[in-house]
Amino acid sequence: MARIKYVKAREIIDSRANPTIEVDLVLEGDYLGRFAVPSGASTGTHEALELRDGDSSRFLGKGVLKAVDNVNTLIFQALKGKMFDTQEAIDSFLLSLDGTENKSKLGANAILGVSMAFANAISKLLNLNLYEYIAREFGNKDVILPRPMFNIMNGGKHANWSTDIQEFMIIISSDSYREMLRAACEIFLSLEKLLKSLGKSINVGNEGGFAPGFNRNEEALDLIVQAVEKTGYKLGEQVFLALDIAASEFYIKEKNIYFLKTENLELSPFEWKSKIKQLLNSYPIISMEDPFAEDDWTSWADFTQEYSDSLQIVGDDLLVTNKSRILKAVDTKACNALLVKLNQIGTLTETIDAMKISKTAGWRNIVSHRSGETEDLSIVHLAVGSGCGQIKTGAPSRGERICKYNELLRLSENIQSTYNE
């Protein structure tokens, strides 16, 4: 392995016009690795700390110059001239350098930027694609293309609360990635025409899905059903639905209620669970993310016990890609799938470890973007290299989303499409 020649960070902007950190890492021989760190809007309280400046005179207090400075001084000085034989070695070094449980000293954004920049650089040194390097780190002999979960309608924090439910997604059943992408685009465009015909707004939310605004969450689902049918695909056979509820965003802890703003409705946990069941009985939903608040473990476990055989129940805010919370969820049978977000935990090694725990438990893994994205393609390679089989990266619109879909198109020319239904 080559020694680290230099590390340099800069402040760039993400897809929501907020600053984020981008890191370059160069190994001897001038192998450059670069990574731009994404940022979430709907974030779990148990995520690793994203270091922001808090200086109201710049970017409304959201600048990341502190994180940039940590990379350019503390981290660079500690790494310069050092050689690391493995990804785990550099990630462990970074964690020791920070020394806090939630990465609050250096910032999870600074640490992740260096971790992933190293992965990109070392893959070039080894003459590997990034997904091949990740597959090696994961211990995979075979790599597969992930099945996308296309987010075609946005709500919650991602779309100024046009609906309470944060993401309405479609999952296409096909053996061809290219055909899945085509079908999703056709349905997306049909939905646009339908919204126009009804005099609804076709503005989009943070993740590229339409956000016209409704009085009831079911209205969004009904329009998606119509769009699928108008496009000529069979709902429940060729096209299925998935939801990211993001229930923590409308759970009021002090009153122990779920408050639906669109309907001005207060529901107890039992009543909210009944409403979820109504959705499952009315629509072909095969995946549901964060149906309950992030610390409502009892509701999660009861729901999973009832629906685990027929539904993918995904923990995001519940788990935050964190080993200890994943182990607790495995022990309590709180869900059956992990949403994987690199910046929730802060290093590639910790992310891979979390995915391995999930896989060993018999769960599924879904690699995910964030609402504040960049044109960085690394999560595509994480999904392919880990062989997880699923990816969430938004609607087939907005450049920071479509660059991921187009990268999958390129990779599909050389990687076998092997999808598990």
CB 11 within 8 A of CB 68: yes
CATH of residue 35: 3.30.390.10
What pLDDT is attached to residue 1?
73
Clarify whether 375 is annotated catalytic. Answer: no
* Tokens coding 206: 């943070």
Low-confidence ranges of the chain (pLDDT < 50): 420-421
Percent helix / strand / coil, the chain, rounded to 5: 40, 20, 40
What pLDDT is attached to residue 365?
98
Q: What is the DSSP letter of 72?
A: I
CB 1 within 8 A of CB 22: no
What pLDDT is attached to residue 46?
87
186 and 67 both lie in a single domain? no
Clarify whether 207 is annotated catalytic. Answer: yes
Cα–Cα dist 210/194, whole Å: 11
92 and 186 both lie in a single domain? no
For a pLDDT cut of 70, what percent of the chain falls above it?
97
In a domain, 133, yes or no: no
Question: Degrees (nearest 5) of the Cα angle 71, 76, 77?
Answer: 130
- The total number of structural domains in the chain stands at 2
Task: Give the pairing type, strands 257-260 and 251-252.
Answer: antiparallel
Q: What is the DSSP letter of 27?
A: E
357 and 214 both lie in a single domain? yes
In a domain, 117, yes or no: yes
Cα–Cα dist 273/251, whole Å: 13
Cα–Cα dist 295/218, whole Å: 26
User: Which structural domain range is residue 113 located in?
Assistant: 4-127
Q: What is the DSSP letter of 164?
A: S
Q: Which of 273, 341, 392, 404 is catalytic?
A: 341
* Residue 267 phi, psi dihedral angles, 5° rounding: -125, 135
What pLDDT is attached to residue 99?
96
Fill in the amino acid letter for 37. Answer: V
Helix (H, G, I), strand (E, B) or coil at 166: coil
* Tokens coding 270: 């039992």
In a domain, 418, yes or no: no
Q: What is the pTM of this model?
A: 0.96
CATH of residue 158: 3.20.20.120
Q: Which of 22, 47, 137, 207 is catalytic?
A: 207
